[in-house]
Structures are given as structure tokens and as C-alpha cells.
Amino acid sequence: MFCNGLLGSLSKISPITLLGIYIPLSGYALWVASAVSGPAEIIGLATVGFLAWTLFEHVFHRSVFHFWLNSKFQSWLQFTIHGVHHQYPHDKDRLVMPVTVSLLITGLLFWLFYSILGQPACAFTVGFILGYLFYDMTHCSIHNFDIPHNKLGQLIWRQHLAHHFLDTRNGSGISAPFWNYIFWTTILNRSKTNTDEPKPLE
């Protein structure tokens, strides 16, 4: 899959490892937030943070994971960060982003949140991290379990599977599929196919 053994190893991560890192991290952020904010403010900011994640998820997935390719290097980069998942969608070790990458992004985003919000950024980040965990656990469930019987679960499952096997350029919202309708990127009930994913380079 990867010519570089180290790169291949770094691309693997268990969802349990992700939970083991980010649950304590969100707990610490909640503890810091409780020192400067009351329960109502924390709940409000965390809710906004959770919703902010859903928008970030859609935009990041669409613009970073599936950016338009103009060179061989870009093709390699896209395959490394996300295309490998589309090549092997049921590889249980590659369903979540490696923590070496996600922690770097988390740190940069927290710096941005703190620059804008100040101390309330901690409560906001709690919701943002919980949104991230909800997204990743939803994604893992889609690739590991049968489609659920409830309508919302069926919408989420079918939208993401359509993203994989019908149109990889659209359907970027996974845990919050309503963004696909807001941005006109829903792909359910389509007949055309667009699965132009970069292949691993020799």
C-alpha cells in the first residue's frame, strides 16, 4: 500500500486509541472552562462548538480530503491523507485520522479559538472535540455495522456509502448530513458516478 513502511505505520490507528486521547483532553478543557464559566455558559458554548464542528467537518472533508489534483505530488498527498481510505474502505485501522495529524490540527484550531474568544474557547473546544469524536465514531460504525432501522441512521449510512461508491466529490457531510442539502452536495437519488480517486503511486 505504502512504499515507506514508517508512513504506512503512521497511517494506522485504532478508534479506541482516539477515544483514549480525546476524551481526557475534552475533560481537561471542561475542567479549565468550569473555572471561568458557569454551567449554562459552558453548555451554550459547547453546543455552538459542536455545531461548528459539523460545518468544519463538511468544509474540511470537501476542500482538503478531496481537493482537485493538478500534479503527481498532489495525487500522492491526497492518497496519503485520505485516498487510501477510499481504496480500502473497510480497513479498520484506517477509519480515523492518525493522532499525529489530528492533534496538530486540534492545537492550531484551539489557538485560533482562543485568539478570538479568549477563556470561553475552552468550553467551545469541549463541544468541538465531542463533535469530532461523534463524527469519527459515526464513520467507524458506517464501515463496520449494518445500516440501522431508523430513518436518520439510514440517511447517514446511505449518504456516506454513496460518497464512496457513487460520487466522491460530494456528500462530504457525514455526521451532519443536513450540510449536504444546504450546500447542494447531496448525492442520494443520483444515477451518475464519479469515483475518480487517485491510485497509489509506485
- pLDDT, tens digit, for every residue of 25-57? 999 999 999 999 999 999 999 999 999 999 999
| Concatenated DSSP letters of 141-185 | HHHHSPPPSSHHHHHHHHHHHHHHHTBTTS---SS-THHHHHTT-
pLDDT tier at 11 (50, 70, 90 boundaries)? low
pLDDT at 72: 76
With beta carbons less than 8 A apart as the criterion, state whether 87 and 199 touch.
yes
Average pLDDT over residues 111-138: 96
Mean pLDDT rounded to a whole number for the chain: 84
Q: Is 81's pLDDT higher than 80?
A: no
C-alpha cell at 109: 484550531
With beta carbons less than 8 A apart as the criterion, state whether 46 and 123 touch.
yes
pLDDT at 44: 97
pLDDT at 98: 79
Q: Which of 63-67, 155-159, 198-202 has the highest mean pLDDT?
A: 155-159
Report domain extents, the chain: 5-138
pLDDT tier at 197 (50, 70, 90 boundaries)? very low
Please tell me the pTM assigned to this model: 0.83
Length of the chain measured in residues? 202
pLDDT at 73: 72
pLDDT at 190: 58
